[in-house]
Amino acid sequence: MSKKENVFVTQPFLPPLEEFVPYLEKIWESKWLTNGGPFHQELEAKLAEYLGVEHLALFSNGTIALISALQALRITGEVITTPFSFVATAHSLLWNNIKPVFADICPDTFNISPRSIEAAITPQTTAIMPVHCYGTPCEVEEIQRIADNYGLKVIYDAAHAFGVQHRGQSVLNFGDLSVLSFHATKVFNTFEGGAIICPDAKTKKRIDYLKNFGFSDEVTVVAPGINGKMNEVQAAFGLLQLKHVDQLISRRGEIDQRYRDGLNEVQGVSCLPLNVDFKFNYSYFPIRVGRDYALSRDGLYEALKKAGIFSRRYFYPLISDMPMYRGLSSAAASNLPVASLASQQVLCLPIYPDLTNDQVDAVIDLIKFAAVI
Ligand SMILES: *Cc1c(COP(=O)(O)O)cnc(C)c1O
């Protein structure tokens, strides 16, 4: 009997090693290892073109990019954000001495609800930081309308939204800034990495200073910048990854469809609706385990784990339940009923390009039959 391989929620795609060697040889030859080297410059240009955005500044990771994005716009006071995200979203606010104000999410998209945003605005509010959760675009037009009415900036945590389009254009073109993550677990990865997308060259210049200690030239420091630079090995890997990314997203799409077909008639399990107005990247496959399924969400999580299938409870616990946030008045569960329920019910199933159809079917079968074993 062959030993069954464990299945994890995600697994990074690694191109054949020999494809990467020529890049490394070039770096060894030039001895240019970081600080805006040729691969860095090439990746910025190629990514901007691929994504359909004007300007893009690469970073060493998404979290430093989020922190720098807030610095670039000099955001202070209070920022309205979602509790249903990875913890780095709110942490980037605390690192800037900004008070996070949590607003509830929509039940059908898991994205921050415009109505809750509007209700959370105070005289101290300076910006909104929504997340395109699981790569589903936020209600970008409604959020912009609120921002315009109240004079607020919008910084999107777009860590899940690589390549996602909203009615034919990149979702990264909405808001004042958008921030990507190229962490190993994301759809497009540079081992660690990230980027800020901005609409104009002036802002990009400022962001480039910020990620390099605030240097504007050899002897002038214009801001208390940080070291957020992406190095040449990361950038080279990004260029190679970019050659494969369309194929990777299309394979993810097949897996997404296979799950949808397989889980279609399972009582108590529902999938995120796919909106025809959007181009998705299938970065996650969240299901909602409802009260009419035979097991609780955690029960299903454990049953899958016993079978060597490691799903993830993204996002549990809510950011607002973590020790550094739970004292805020906006963190109360009564303020966040939809997010609180989602964090009890959502489970992200394995999805990554190397996942085989047989493995997907094994996950589906287990969900179908877990209830009766
Ligand atoms: C991955 C992620 C981040 C952090 O990105 P890093 O590159 O790991 O620092 C931030 N926000 C969200 C929503 C994420 O999923």
Question: From first to last of its 373 residues, what are the pLDDT tens digits of the chain?
Answer: 445 688 999 999 999 999 999 999 999 999 999 999 999 999 999 999 999 999 999 999 999 999 999 999 999 999 999 999 999 999 999 999 999 999 999 999 999 999 999 999 999 999 999 999 999 999 999 999 999 999 999 999 999 999 999 999 999 999 999 999 999 999 999 999 999 999 999 999 999 999 999 999 999 999 999 999 999 999 999 999 999 999 999 999 999 999 999 999 999 999 999 999 999 999 999 999 999 999 999 999 999 999 999 999 999 999 999 999 999 999 999 999 999 999 999 999 999 999 999 999 999 999 998 867 5
Nearest CA to ligand 1 atom 8: 183
What would the two tokens of residue 214 be?
């605030």
Q: Domains plus CATH for the chain?
A: 17-241 (3.40.640.10), 245-372 (3.90.1150.10)
Q: 60 near 182, Cβ under 8 Å?
A: no
Q: 261 near 328, Cβ under 8 Å?
A: no
84 CA distance to ligand 1 middle (Å): 13
61 CA distance to ligand 1 middle (Å): 8
Give the residues surrounding ligand 1 with Cβ less than 6 Å away. Answer: 61-63, 85-86, 88-89, 131, 157, 159-160, 181, 183, 194
Q: 58 near 30, Cβ under 8 Å?
A: no
Half-sphere exposure of 285 (CA within 13 A, CB side): 26
Burial pattern 283-294, b for ≥16 Cβ within 10 A else e, equals: bbbbbbbeeebe
**Cα angle: 72, vertex 73, 76; to 5 degrees:** 115
Nearest CA to ligand 1 atom 7: 62
Query: Pick from 277, 262, 285, 255: which is nearest to 110 by CA?
Result: 285
Q: What are the backbone dihedrals phi and psi of residue 328, each rounded to the nearest 5 degrees, phi first?
A: -70, 145
* Non-local CB neighbours of 69 within 8 Å, separated by 6+ positions: 92, 155, 177, 179, 196, 207
Atom of ligand 1 nearest to the CA of 131: 13
Query: Pick from 95, 143, 87: which is nearest to 120 by CA?
Result: 143
Query: Pick from 202, 236, 328: which is nearest to 37 by CA?
Result: 236
Residue 202, beta-bridge partner list: none
* pTM tops 0.85, yes or no: yes
Burial class (CB in 10 A: 0-12, 13-18, 19+), 121: middle
